Structure 1
Amino acid sequence: MKLLPAIILAIGLVLAPVIWFALSWVMTPEDGFQGASIDSGARIDIELLRQQIEDLQIRTEELESELARLPQGGGAAPGPFVPDEDAEQQILDQTEGADLDYAQVVLIADRLNVNRGLKVTGGRYLTERLGRPREDLSDTCQPMTNPDLKEKLVTERVGPIRVSMLRPAIESLKVVFDNIRRADPDLYNRINTAGALCVRRIRGTQNALSTHSYGLAVDLNIDGKLDNFTDGKTQLGLTIMADFFYDEGWVWGAGFRREDSMHFEISRRQLDAWIAEGKL
């Protein structure tokens, strides 16, 4: 039994390179941005493998301390160590999507660059391009009265949620959710919403508007658990969904100066494209 810590330590030293190799592989960039499915899988592997490496390093230090306290000599030398391939595979298998807790809170990696060149629309730009959704505003949600916008406003079930948004945003959201469903049905089934259309002024202002007032933004979460505002962290599921939204020209609120990772809104580029196509 005295040799057990030494054997465990040897296993740890053998598995460490395996984990580091796997981590290096999933983090190796392809030629250019390759889309949501690749980035999502890599993010899952990175988050879980990083935690496994940290746990292994802590355990290795503990075993080194225990090994140093063992009496010298007095026993037969152990035979050559044979790596446990089943144990290695067990570690790598832990990255399967079905075993993930999509609601777990993780740090947002490279937060200020998550939108990679996409620009927010902003209330002023939206007003210039679309007019105001209604003239009188308050701190509570009110109906949209602008006839041109109201004509394009729809309320329907989109994937796992029911929302009220402008028609082009609804159609784009369908594409996002359909891609998520095909790539990760477990995540798809746990998506919930905290709201979309809400015509009101931004609290603390007299007349400022957000993209929610135009039905061009949606707040999402996992399992109905709201994410904390401005803490630089978010639910793992939201980090995965962000790649799919990016592909369709949506901006993620995690990259805002005041981080709001439940928030997804149409980018300025996508808005301009819809206007040019006559959709708005």
Structure 2
Amino acid sequence: MVILALIDAHVPPYDMSIVQGVRFILSKQREDGFLQWSGPGPGSYYGTARALLGVLVGTLKEDYDRIRINVEKAIRALADGELPCGGWEANPGGGLSHWGSAEVLFAVWYAGKMYMEEIWRSPMNYYSKFKRWFMKTQSALGSWDGNCLDCTARVATFLSFYGYRGPEVKMALQFILNHQGGDGRIGDSPWATAWSLLAMVASKSTDGAIQESARAAVSALIDSQLDDGGWPIFYDSDTSFESVTAASVWALATYKNSLSGVVSVLGV
């Protein structure tokens, strides 16, 4: 996520922070293809998916052949984890996860875009099964994963990145708007606000209410940045966390880019 945030904030792929970040991720790839810590135990599907996106956007196109084997091994690990319903667990044994599934599906599809061979493009049967499952399991409120705000925002973000902007996404955006306070905060965490802002930007909605909500979310994130430059997990905390900071920077950069018509590194 740090690499995604830096790239969309216009840090070039040849910057040493990006180069070393990609090198670190690849150094953690296991023999079974998962990209994560090298300890024992089952691999993480969402962790591998997110790391794979970081490797792809952080690698110069002329260097893709160098990472081809790594990408193929990661895709196999992810594809093997798809369950009959069309979804994935975030981590093996943890139960079906809507947000984890959305991230995995997008990572496999995005990896396919980077290579010409059709075999590495995400087969449409992934998406068709996945879409049926999502339509069937979205709550009447427009949420997923037990009315989890940031989970719903992540699902809407990656469905939109994938190119799907049907009624499920619109319902999810309304769920997000219903949880925004007068101060622009969405939920009780910059994490939820950042992912919600990403969902709104990725949707490319022209709805005035969503655009106003996005502007308010931007203000809330800016106001909650700590003196050290980072963002806390909760608004009432004063300790920065890298993952929350990455999500916040990524959301703000993507929003700023959208105002200038600049396309995100993920294609939005």
TM over 0.5: no
Q: Which has the higher strand share?
A: 1
Query: TM-score, with normalisation over the residues of structure 1?
Result: 0.23
Higher relative contact order (CA 8 A, sep 6+): 1
Compare the two structures and name the one with the higher helix fraction. 2
Bigger Rg, which one: 1
TM-score, normalised to structure 2, is 0.23
